[in-house]
Amino acid sequence: MSHKNWNTSHTLLERAKQDSNNDIWEEFVVCYEPFIFHILNTFSVPHSSQADLSQKVLLRMFQSLKTYDSSKGKFRTWLGVVVKNTVFSYYNEQKRRSQHEKKIEEMGADHLALHTQESELETLIEEEWQLWVGSKALEAIRPHFSAAALKAFELSLQGMDNDRIASELSVKKTSVAELKARVKRKYIHEVRSLIQSLER
């Protein structure tokens, strides 16, 4: 009854929606765990509870995949909502389990709730996802370019204009434009294929 044969042509998310076996779960964890850790690090969740919380988040993502439809909404928006909800319910559960209810306010390494509004958090996760995909793409294209080309691209990302980049790198202004364009094209291509494999 399994659809193994035609599964291969589908994306991970599509397959995970249809069939929740262990192989797919593991593949899913490999794909998204690094980002979840990144997010937990970003929010300074203590190292010791990261493993547990990341498992929770991944499991929740996996189970709520059916609520995600790439043709109807953006993956990052969905991701923001799911991650945020899981993290909040995680902390709420811990509070509930507490036997010293009176002290709720003083308790818990509730870094998230201390520092951030709920709605803000969704946007933050969404933005972190974009930045994270960007940094993955940058890592992937790195071996294909000279240090100067990468540097030119990096500086242009930081908002530096071609004149200044040219003088920083001691190259001609026209070559700056060319270097930037080459890296940018490859970069966009890479982001696009990451989106294709992680969000569809």
Partner 1 sequence: MSIESSNLSRAKAIKQLYELAEQPAEKGEGANFFEDIEAGFSRYENLELIGEGGVKRIYKAYDTTTGRTIAIAVLKPEAPEDLFDAFIREAKLTAFLDHPNIITVHDTGFTEEDAPFFSMQLIEGSSLKSMILSKENSPQHEYLDIFIKVAEAVSYAHSRGVIHLDLKPDNVQIGPFGDVQVCDWGLGKILEQKASEFDLPLPMNDTLTSFTLCGEVKGTPGYMAPEQIEAEGQKGKHSDIFSLGAILYTMMSGEAPFIGSREEIFKRTLEGSYAPLRNRRPAVSASLDAISSRALARKPEDRYSTVQELIKDIQSYRSGYAPYAEQASFYRELVLFVSRHKRFCLAIALVSLLISSLVFSFMSHLNKKNSTIKNSLNILQQTQVELKSALRDAENERSKSQQALAIVKRERELSEYAFDMALPKTIMDEMYYQTDVAAFLKTKKALDTALVFLKAQQKKNPSYPKITMQLGYIAFLQQDLHKAHSFLVRESTTATDLRDFCHSFILEHKSSSTPLPLIQIQGIFKRFYPKRIGALLIMLYYDAEIRHNINEHSELVKTYLKLLNPSWSGNFIYEEKTNALKLSGHGLNRLGIHPNNTKLLIQGLPSAVSALASLNLSSLDLSSTDFYDLRELGNCSITDLDISHTLVTQLENIEKLKSLTHLTVAKGQFSLAKLKLLPQRIKLLIAD
CA–CA separation, 165 and 169 (whole Å)? 6
Measured from the CB atom, the residue of 81 and 91 that comes closer to partner 1 is 91
**Least distance in Å: CB of 159 to partner 1?**
3
CA–CA separation, 23 and 44 (whole Å)? 31
Measured from the CB atom, the residue of 69 and 131 that comes closer to partner 1 is 131
Measured from the CB atom, the residue of 52 and 118 that comes closer to partner 1 is 52
**Least distance in Å: CB of 131 to partner 1?**
6
**Least distance in Å: CB of 108 to partner 1?**
5
**Least distance in Å: CB of 100 to partner 1?**
6
Is residue 10 left, alpha or beta, with left meaning phi > 0 and alpha meaning psi from -120 to 50?
A: beta
Measured from the CB atom, the residue of 31 and 157 that comes closer to partner 1 is 157
CA–CA separation, 75 and 57 (whole Å)? 15
